[in-house]
Chain A
Amino acid sequence: EVHLAESGGGLVHPGRSLRLSCAASGFIFDDFVMHWVRQAPGRGPEWVSDISWDSQTIHYADSVKGRFTISRDNAKNTVYLQMNSLRHEDTALYYCAKEGKILDHWGLGTLVSVSS
Chain B
Amino acid sequence: AIQMTQSPSSLAASVGDRVTITCRASQGVRTDLGWYQQKPGKAPKLLIYTVTALEDGVPSRFSGSGSGTDFTLTITSLQPEDFATYYCVQDYSYPWTFGQGTKVEVK
Contact = CB atoms under 8 A, between A and B. Distances in A.
Contact of B87 (A44, A61, A106): A44
Interface string B31-71: 00010100000011110011001010000000000000000
B95 A61 contact: yes
Contacts of A28: none
A45 B87 contact: yes
Interface of A is mostly: strand
B97 interface: yes
Contact of A59 (B46, B87, B94): B94
Nearest to B91: A102
Contact of A101 (B46, B89, B94, B101): B46
A32 interface: no
Contacts of B91: 102
B1 A62 contact: yes
A59 B43 contact: no
